[in-house]
Each structure stands twice: as structure tokens, then as C-alpha cells.
A and B are shown apart, each in its own frame.
Chain A
């Protein structure tokens, strides 16, 4: 692997790390498998791109993107709690709707940001080469988001979120409206995912309605890789593992793409399949790690 590819993977790991933190929040904390993310990632990209094109400050556009993601997540949460639609189906409905919404927002299926200001300008302005600028900036974003979640999950509100995912009956009899917690939690998760999408778009200079396909699977894979490699005994540990898992996952992908078996090599379009297989393997063999340790 070249240094260039390495930095690329690091950058991807951090920028999608925000999304992975969001997936961790729904999937692990709330026990809510949320497919909304496949739509809220491009939603964030679309909102941010349209805002920047309209002359909004790139940093401010991130806020818009996060707000839009939050709203999308709330829709899923409301469909699930208030209308009693199964969480998976509720999130699929939102995801599908977002496809139309995203095209409406952009006015077309994709748009370019070439020549427009982005959050990276400040760093490249300092003379940092682009690949270092993006890696550094996204690393900072990832770390800040992770630290914020570590803090949040230790607050009274965060603790009710953990309890809601673990034992809704218990937390209800402690006086908590689990519906509100779920709506807020799924909202927060999708705000992170949309933020991730906005940064991806600014980094690659384009937003595309199809860029969210496979987000949930990549997110799950990163969470699982993180847990396996770095452990998840405490919530703090699990959050660190989620962010690092994202980096490891992107590095693994970069490695896989570099492999050659005679004539055969993987193309980027094979990634979803590889990732899905990885997730299946991880899900059907929860004791792989234990066996691993037993041998060591």
C-alpha cells in the first residue's frame, strides 16, 4: 500500500467515522437497526452542497446538514413509536422517501462543488497538502464527535438512552417516556450521518443521490470490526472502538482493492458484497473472538 493510499484510507476512516458513531448509537445503544442512514448520508451531502452553492459558509452548511439529518431521523423515530411501525420498516420508508427528497433538494440527481469554498480551504490555505489537510480536519471532527458522545452518554439524558435500548420496561417505570428518547436518539444518530455525508461531499467535490447506498452495511461492519479489534467493555471503550473500527475497515478495504489474484482483482463496486459478507460472518459467529483467544 502506498502512503497516498494509506492517507486516503485514514481520511475515509475518519470522515465516515462520524457516520459509524451514528450507527453505533442506534444499532448498539438504542438496539434500533436503522436503515435511514442510507438516505441521510446523501441528504447531508445535498443540503450542504446546495447551501454552499447558494453562498452559505461551508461550516454553517454543516449545521444545516446535521439539522436535516436530525429531522430525517426523527421521522423514522416517530413512525416507529407513534405509529407503531416496525423499526426496520420505518427506517426503510424514510430512506426511500429521502431518495426523492434529495433529488428535490438538489434539483437533479447530483451536483458538483468544484471551485466552491469548502471546510478544507482553511487548512490548505495554511500550505498543508490536500491529503494531509483532509485527514487532519476529519480526524479532528471524528475525535470531537466521539468525545461529545462519550460525554453525552454519561449525562442523565444519555443514561436514559442506554437504558431505553437495554430495558424499556425498567426505564418506563422510572418515569421516562421511551418514545421521546428513541425519537431523539435516532435523530441524533442521523445528524451525525448527515454531517458525515456533508463532509464527504465537500471532500470529493460532489454530491450524488446514490452515494448513500450501502452506508448501513459499512457502518455495521466498522462497528463490528472495532468491537472485535478494540473491545467494547464500557461505553467509552466502545465509542473509541467504533471510530477506530471505521479506520481499520477503510484500511482493510484499501488493502482488498490492492489485491491481485492473477487476472482477478476487486473493483470498488465489489465493496458492498465484500462488506456484507464480512458482516454476515461477524454476525453468525459471535464466538469467533473467544475461539481466537482460546487458541492464543
Chain B
């Protein structure tokens, strides 16, 4: 169980540029929940994920993972529990290092690192098997620099790396948005496969409403830093895009900028 209680996050507090990015957000994420997060630009979706990951600390409120209060844990310490895939495919992998070196780094997520060899011969077979499952031909390129790969290949690797050590929480922030439609679909299918296989507790931000309805068992809608909709299971399954737009209108009193949201 992961809990956010009354989380408040300002940016540029006390200046003319003050933004209230998260306004008293409370959310309980049960083990195995797979939540899609939607909302218009600037709604606070990324802020919510960054707050969980520890990119910054909330101004007030608490974060708990199981019974541990992690509110003031730095990002690197939380990484032990959290796997993360970013929107930008460049951010999740090390371009200057080889495929196997990247995977070896991910294999030690949250663990002590010492003076043993980084890439161990025994792990190579495992890396190869996992890369083969991606069906991108990467299994024969273990020694190639990741910088030589395409954005989609890098994102697929980031997805693998984020889940190599099973995370207690997987954070995906528009992780298919920078890819072409075909690659985006591949990555989404891969995501679904891994999340279902490992029964990962997941938070996935998306701009595509169809995707949001189609993926996961729960949907959360953010607006101006507040959660204005939180539906799950049967209720979520019965929703259509039209319903979502109406719910948004009722809850916020505004029309959703539906162009990007629909086609995403």
C-alpha cells in the first residue's frame, strides 16, 4: 500500500510566478493497482509522479510506502522501491555505456555496489533472454553503446531496466508520447505484458483517453492540482471517452482541451 496524505506542492512559492501544482492530494494506492492518470496540461500529473519518486519534497503532507514514512527520503533512496520510465527516451538509459552495462546497473537498483565486476558473465545469458523477448534484435548487440539505439529501442530497454529488480511501484510518465504511433503501441504492449506478468503496482500518465480507459484497473483525473475523479474496476470498465469528458465538465466546470487528449 502506498499512501499520499494531504500532499501540497508549490513551485516558486511567494513570487509572482507561484504555482500550486498539488493541492491537498490524498491517494491510496493498493498493492497491484494499475492506475492511469489523466488531466490537461499543467494539471500536476508529472508533479504527482515526481513527488512520489522524490525528485523534490512536498511542502506539506506525507508519503508512505507500506508502513514506512518516506516523505523526506531522497530520490536515490526511494529508487530501491520505485521503477521509473520517463517521457524522454534519453533519460532512462546511459548513452555512453553498452547495453549490457546499462542492464547490469539496473540489476543492482537500490543495492550496495562494490568492487566486483560490473557486468558479470553469469548475468549475460539472462540479459540476452530478456532482450530476445523484446524482439528488437538487441540480444546480439550486448556490447553496443546504447547511444546507437533508436528512441523506441531505448524506451524498451528503460522499461526492462525499470522492472529488472521488481519495483513496489512503477511510475510511467507519458512514456510513449515521444515515439511514433507504431513504436508507441509496441512499448505500450510491452508495458502491459510486464505489468501483468509481475502484477506491478503502477501509475501511468497518459494524454490518450482511450489508452487511459483501456489500460489498468483504475483511473484518476487531475485538474489544477486536485484529484477530481477516481474510478476503479467495474465502474471504470463501463466508461467511454464521452463519459470522461462529461465527468470532467461536471467536476471542473470547464471544457477539456480535447484535441490533444483524444488523439494523444
Contacts and interface: CB of A to CB of B under 8 A. Distances in A.
Interface in B138-167: 161
B80 interface: yes
B105 A154 contact: no
Interface in B48-85: 53, 74-77, 79-80, 82, 84
B96 interface: yes
Contacts of B86: 169
A170 B115 contact: no
A162 to B, nearest CB: 6
A174 interface: yes
Contacts of B109: 174-175
Interface of A: 152, 154-160, 162-163, 166-167, 169-178
A171 B79 CA distance: 10
A174 B106 contact: yes
B108 to A, nearest CB: 6
Interface string B85-109: 0100011111111000100111011
B238 interface: no
Contacts of B117: 154-156
19 contacts: A156-B108, A156-B113, A157-B113, A159-B118, A159-B119, A160-B105, A162-B94, A166-B96, A166-B97, A167-B95, A169-B86, A171-B105, A173-B53, A174-B161, A175-B79, A175-B110, A175-B111, A176-B79, A178-B76
A176 B76 contact: yes
Contacts of B96: 162, 166
Q: Which 7 A-B pairs have the closest CB atoms?
A: A175-B79, A159-B118, A175-B110, A156-B113, A166-B96, A177-B76, A173-B84
A155 B105 contact: no
Contact of A174 (B74, B105, B114, B116): B105
Nearest to B147: A166
Contact of B94 (A158, A170, A177): A170
Interface residues of B, number: 34
Interface of B: 53, 74-77, 79-80, 82, 84, 86, 90-97, 101, 104-106, 108-111, 113-119, 161
B97 A173 contact: no
B101 A174 contact: no
B97 A162 contact: yes
Contacts of A169: 86, 91
Contacts of A170: 91-94
Contact of B115 (A155, A172, A178): A155
A157 B94 contact: no
Given A170-B94, A175-B77, A175-B79, A157 B108 contact: no
B113 A160 contact: yes
Contact of B101 (A159, A173, A176, A177): A159
A162 B111 CA distance: 17
Contacts of B105: 159-160, 163, 171, 174
A157 B115 contact: yes
A156 B114 contact: yes
